Amino acid sequence: MGRALTIQRSVIPISDRARQLERLRSKRDHYRANDCRYWVFEEASVHGAFLEFVEADSADAIAAAHSSALDAPIDATRIYLEVELS
């Protein structure tokens, strides 16, 4: 079984960065509790530009986690599936 992934990009004013980090911690906790892995990256040259990745063992697992999230991605149905290259 392949893995599934979603990606969300957001840009926030630097003055809202502390509040954004708290929101991201809450999202991390939600996705971890729903058997997903969650990463956040911030663009090196643009503080406040974030990429969020949610990964799970299946598209169904991600869809279920997104549907119960308080702050789901804008396009929660855009799920990428791992491609087997062997």
Which CATH number characterizes residue 60's domain?
A: 3.30.70.100
* E-strand stretches of the chain: 4-11, 37-42, 49-56, 80-81
Q: Please indicate, yes or no, if residue 86 is contained in any of the structural domains.
A: no
pTM (two decimals): 0.88
pLDDT digits (tens, 9 = 90+) for 4-53: 999 999 999 999 999 999 999 999 999 999 999 999 999 999 999 999 99
Does residue 1 have a pLDDT over 80?
Answer: no
Q: Say how far apart CA 86 and CA 81 lie, in whole Å.
A: 15
How many domains does the chain divide into?
1
The residue range of the domain holding 66 is 4-81
pLDDT digits (tens, 9 = 90+) for 49-72: 999 999 999 999 999 999 999 887
Q: Please indicate, yes or no, if residue 53 is contained in any of the structural domains.
A: yes
